[in-house]
Structure 1
């Protein structure tokens, strides 16, 4: 039985997606194979089940590395106050309220829009929308062209203009309604509910989001030519309701960059390591994310809140009380609220991501 004060090592969870990718995820974990497939995402410390095309029961749920028959969601449900913290549980119940994904796109993703919390309650009777945030790890040039970000509608785009572009079946007309930016390694971009967005081929990123899989599509075919069924485009609410979710009016390119591109904030170095805020609660109350660089022995400050840890690169060791485990590329852990402080030792320079649920 898992002790509530012990870090929880997790296995790797994924879900089938309509787009291709995934090779750099396998490379990060040291697995063989250079090809892409329909498993281009890894879900990290996930208590969220995948929905949509190709989803099977249990897809996307993280499992305990030492007890793969058990999910993290089941473990937390066994004692949510201890795992999530009393203050968090009083406010949010037993749901972690956050999901982190590792995403490697070999092709451009469909233009998408997600509901905010109000629309998620109104149309799906769900407590969470799908505000999300991207942090770009790498941007490779591929057969599909340069890696780019499509974000927000241009100033002159009206609801009628966007609707006619979608109904034409011409994806380029939809893309022409949106701002386009180069995708840059190390950049962080916030995508609020109601804002149309897409990434181009070659983007390798972390996506932190509210814990839902509510994705509405503003294109009727994928970039590889697969037809997207109506039900998958509007997720059962119909096209009139889908277009009512979209945020108008549009903004200028400068306004989009100022509003949704988030500068990183490095904290002063501490003995053995450094924390950089990638997204904090001042920009988004739904989740927060940090980068942790460790070059020696680093003691990680601990507050009475739970969080997830994901190892991007390097090798080392983590300890907490009597708990010890090795760290390497792709390793992930859930850290309970009652866990003692962590000490991280780097055998080679370590880079980790720490992420938190909603602000308490």
Structure 2
């Protein structure tokens, strides 16, 4: 039996996935373990790549999610893209899910870094996708949980180059907007935006499906500039940086505060995120339209019922990949869920 036929003849259309935490260069992971209800004493497991078809930069398999039958999710999607993703999605994005979801628990402050745009990625990295991302804050700890987003004022290219060449961490971090956050806050991070995440901030992160980072503040985090700049020279790498200042109007267009919204479905992200990904917070009984998606259960317990009548039990800490073939599914029970989806086909035109 072919893999495509197997997918279409009764394979699970919604699958709970275990933690997938490739080792990183920074500390964290306790909040991920607490969410999932287990104990994990690893020091460098701050990222859980959920339903990932993306590999870590420079790796062949690290970062990929494995299905219960032993296959990589990436290979299952490639074998039956319309089953997993839907015909309209495949017409626009091929067999790419066009989405990477992570749980990210910053056990220490992350370095100042940014990500390339689609155009830069096509020209220099051979990729259709750059790495625009968004953060859904789901937990905080410590006295002052903050994130850093965009320069406060315009910065000349030679100044950025000098900061990077001398690894002036205090100047780089001090030049950014420091933003206090709490659970329910969301931040859209366009490609090119210099940013960092402070210690004690726990997020569900949506990204374009790449692992491209230009690490401006690499000393003390990474071994050398080759790994910091994706193998590019410094001059080329710094072309990715948006050196424009982000004033209050720009910041307000990127940041949302949703903690006090208690509707059954709350759109989480800024309007500018729509061409890249979608995210909603769902509570209680909610209908889901057919779509590839990722569910992260933040609280409660219940079920996901797909239109063929198969139930999947859900509980706090469940992470689930949902195929387009699940059809018009429904969440039932006392649940709080972050529902992540790729962009709607046609939204980038």
TM-score (norm 1): 0.87
> Is the contact between residue 156 and residue 243 of structure 2 (CA under 8 Å) also seen in structure 1?
yes
The equivalent of 2:314 in structure 1 is: 327
1:18 lines up with 2:25 in the alignment: yes
Residue 14 of structure 1 aligns to a residue in which SS?
coil
> Is the contact between residue 4 and residue 339 of structure 1 (CA under 8 Å) also seen in structure 2?
no
Alpha-carbon distance in structure 2 between the residues aligned to 1:167 and 1:280: 34
Structure 2 spans left out of the alignment, 5+ residues: 1-5
Residue 122 of structure 1 aligns to a residue in which SS?
helix
The equivalent of 2:174 in structure 1 is: 176
> Is the contact between residue 4 and residue 83 of structure 1 (CA under 8 Å) also seen in structure 2?
no
> Is the contact between residue 158 and residue 248 of structure 1 (CA under 8 Å) also seen in structure 2?
yes
4+ residue stretches of structure 1 with deviation over 6 A? 265-268
Alpha-carbon distance in structure 2 between the residues aligned to 1:98 and 1:146: 31
1:246 to 237, 241, 256: 241
> Is the contact between residue 152 and residue 256 of structure 1 (CA under 8 Å) also seen in structure 2?
no
> Is the contact between residue 286 and residue 330 of structure 2 (CA under 8 Å) also seen in structure 1?
yes
Deviation readout 1:13-69 (Å, 9 max, x if unpaired): 221110000001011111124x551111111111111225xxx542221121x32x1
> Is the contact between residue 14 and residue 59 of structure 1 (CA under 8 Å) also seen in structure 2?
no
The equivalent of 2:77 in structure 1 is: 76
> Is the contact between residue 166 and residue 173 of structure 1 (CA under 8 Å) also seen in structure 2?
no
Taking the TM superposition and a 5 Å limit, the aligned residue runs for 1:293-312 are 293-294=283-284, 298-303=285-290, 305-312=291-298
The equivalent of 1:104 in structure 2 is: 105
Question: What CA RMSD, in Å, does the superposition of the two structures yield over aligned residues?
Answer: 2.1
Give the Å deviation of 1:265.
10
> Is the contact between residue 139 and residue 202 of structure 2 (CA under 8 Å) also seen in structure 1?
yes
Residue 339 of structure 2 aligns to a residue in which SS?
strand
Number of residues paired by the alignment?
337
Which structure: greater helix fraction? 2
The equivalent of 1:7 in structure 2 is: 14
Structure 1 spans left out of the alignment, 5+ residues: none
1:277 lines up with 2:270 in the alignment: no
Residue 258 of structure 1 aligns to a residue in which SS?
helix
Give the Å deviation of 1:259.
3.0
The equivalent of 1:338 in structure 2 is: 325
1:261 to 240, 255, 261: 255
| CA gap 1:44/1:135 in 2 versus in 1, 3 angstroms | same
Alpha-carbon distance in structure 2 between the residues aligned to 1:188 and 1:98: 17
Alpha-carbon distance in structure 2 between the residues aligned to 1:266 and 1:186: 8
Taking the TM superposition and a 5 Å limit, the aligned residue runs for 1:83-232 are 83-141=84-142, 146-222=144-220, 226-232=221-227
1:237 lines up with 2:236 in the alignment: no
Deviation readout 1:239-267 (Å, 9 max, x if unpaired): 00111111132233x13422321354999
Residue 13 of structure 1 aligns to a residue in which SS?
coil
